[in-house]
Structure 1
Amino acid sequence: MTQRTTPPCVLRRPGSKGRRPRAAQESTSTRTFTRRFREEIGISPGQWLTRQRVERACTLLERSSLPVDEVATAAGFGSTASMRLHLHTELGVSPSAYRATFRGRDH
């Protein structure tokens, strides 16, 4: 199954929590919304949302000098530890190592 990068209906901003409000807007149950989302996109809404947050964190780490804890908040993670875990899971590096990679290219 091919995975799309952007779903036809965006759940909510990456910084928001939960999928129930979007399911309610679509006049469907959370279970049906999740099933349809997975069929259309190829991953669960939670996985998609985490990937969006990781992408936002990466952009901020590359382009800003915000402290890591502020990057975590701006990207929608509940904590710095959560962002570290997800960056390591998705990319295999810590936020500091990711930032250093891009800072090394600029200098």
Structure 2
Amino acid sequence: MVFVKITKIQSINDPETGEEGKQIEFVEIRKTPTKVLTPTNESRIIQEMMNQLKMMGFPMILKPEVKVPKMILFLTDEECEKLQIDLEVNKTYDLKIWKGGMQLNELHSYE
């Protein structure tokens, strides 16, 4: 099981048939491992500064995840309809790959 997120959806035309479709770019989302470090004086000072900035209202977005390019799909509008999945940018999906097949399911909550 792999968690993927759509980063870009672009309308395209098939160069051979002229059929309208979509180019959908996915990235894999991996949780970054937490590192256990022995705190030093410098790290304590930096942590105190970060806490003060947070209390002052500065947004600190530190997501514990890494985004790795995974795949690009080229689908016709008809193929998109057959999927029966709402494909939207920033939505997260569960991608299962096995011998001879792939399955994509929308995740309603990703933690």
TM-score of Structure 1 vs Structure 2, range by shorter chain:
under 0.3
- Which of 1 and 2 has higher RCO (CA within 8 Å, sep 6+)? 2
TM-score when normalising by structure 2: 0.24
Q: Which has the larger radius of gyration?
A: 2
TM-score when normalising by structure 1: 0.24
The structure with the largest strand share of the pair is 2
The structure with the largest helix share of the pair is 1
